[in-house]
Amino acid sequence: MAEAFTAGVRPGGLTDDTQIRMLLCYLVKVAGPVKRETMQGALLQEQLVNYFEFADALAEVEKQQLVTVDEDGRYTITRRGTTVADTLAYDLPRTVRESAIRAVMQIRSWRHRAASNRAVVQEKDGQFSVVCSIADMGSDVFRMELAMPDKLTAEMIKNNFIAHGSDIFPKLLNALTQPGSEDDRPPGRADVSKPFFPVLSMSTGTFFVPYPLTTVYSVCIL
């Protein structure tokens, strides 16, 4: 068996091309259908294989009809590939198999959150900002832009919003829609004794705020 390139492979990773093909069959069987970029990201992130050996092994398992790839680029295990995964893949170190599957799940989870909790770093005239938004039913229900002192901080904010935006959004809404005290209201406001009952339309991202009860104010989070 030919020794694979070892650059970028951590101790305990795979340096044998046959083992890499076995791992790919196992990964596609357990986590498939799965796209190439997901497998590549997972295995390189965990430093389990070398990039060039990954690419060669993936082409080889497809050539040997151990996997098939559809028009969307998703790999699915075949009957022959299932046999390889069931009879040979368990000879691979358990830590390698578990690390590979866990990394695939992490990448999928991140992409799912990123599809809903969107964040983009923008730069204009050397100034950085992060535009954060949350989508629901095909449209934004929340959008805000935060000025950042530098690109590094902006990237950190972007990643944290993608990871935690679904938790941040309701907390922010709760803080902004709490009944205000006397000190919170602008001078000269009429009859502050009347109750404050904000209602949020999740489909439009608009607050309908009856205050007083006979008047409706509309505030949209953009």
**C-alpha–C-alpha distance, residues 104 and 28, integer Å:** 10
Instruction: Give the pLDDT band (50/70/90) at residue 8.
Output: confident
What 3-state class would DSSP assign to 177?
A: coil
* Region 137-141 average pLDDT: 74
Let me know whether 146 and 67 are in one domain.
no
| Range from 38-52, 63-77, 124-138, 170-184 carrying the lowest mean pLDDT | 170-184
Q: What does the pLDDT look like over 79-90, one tens digit per residue?
A: 999 999 988 888
Domain boundary among 69, 93, 114: 114
Q: Which residue has the higher pLDDT, 178 or 39?
A: 39
pLDDT tens-digit series, residues 86-133: 888 888 889 999 999 999 988 888 887 777 888 999 999 989 999 998
Cis before residue 33, ω within 30 degrees of 0?
Answer: yes
Question: Could you tell me the sign of the dihedral formed by the alpha carbons of 170, 155, 10, 82, in that order?
Answer: positive
Tell me what the mean pLDDT of segment 70-78 comes to.
92
Q: How far apart are CA 60 and CA 190, in angstroms?
A: 75
* Cα angle 19, 20, 25; round to 5: 95
Q: What is the mean pLDDT of residues 60-67?
A: 94
Q: Could you tell me if 110 and 143 lie in one domain? A: no
Residues 72 and 54 both lie in one domain: yes
Does residue 196 form part of some domain?
no
22 with 86, same domain: the answer is: yes
97 and 160 co-located in one domain? no
Instruction: Point out the domain boundary residue: 114, 142, 158.
Output: 114
Based on the domain organization, do 162 and 129 belong to the same domain?
A: yes
Are 140 and 60 contained in the same domain? no
The yes-or-no verdict on residue 203 having pLDDT over 60 is no
Strands of 206-210's sheet, edge to edge?
A: 199-201, 206-210, 216-220
Q: Which residues of 87-104 are buried (b: 16+ CB within 10 A; e: fewer)?
A: eebeebeeebbebbeebb
Q: Are residues 138 and 94 in the same domain?
A: no
Angle at 130 between CA 128 and CA 136, to 5 degrees: 160
* Judgement on whether residues 62 and 94 belong to the same structural domain of the protein: yes
Q: What is the domain extent for residue 104?
A: 17-114
Q: What domain count does the chain have?
A: 2
Same domain, 73 and 106: yes
The CATH number assigned to the domain holding 73 equals 1.10.10.10
Q: What percent of the chain has pLDDT over 70?
A: 80
Mean pLDDT score, 56-62: 94
pTM of the model: 0.59
Burial 110-141 (b: 16+ CB within 10 A, else e): eeebbeebbbebeeeeeebbbebbbeeeeeeb
Q: Mark whether 99 and 128 lie in a shared domain.
A: no
Q: Which residue has the higher pLDDT, 76 or 173?
A: 76
d(CA 200, CA 219): 10
Q: Are strands 117-124 and 74-77 parallel, antiparallel or unpaired?
A: unpaired
Of 78 and 205, which is predicted with more confidence?
A: 78
The answer to whether residue 8 sits within a structural domain is: no
**Residue 170: inside a domain:** yes
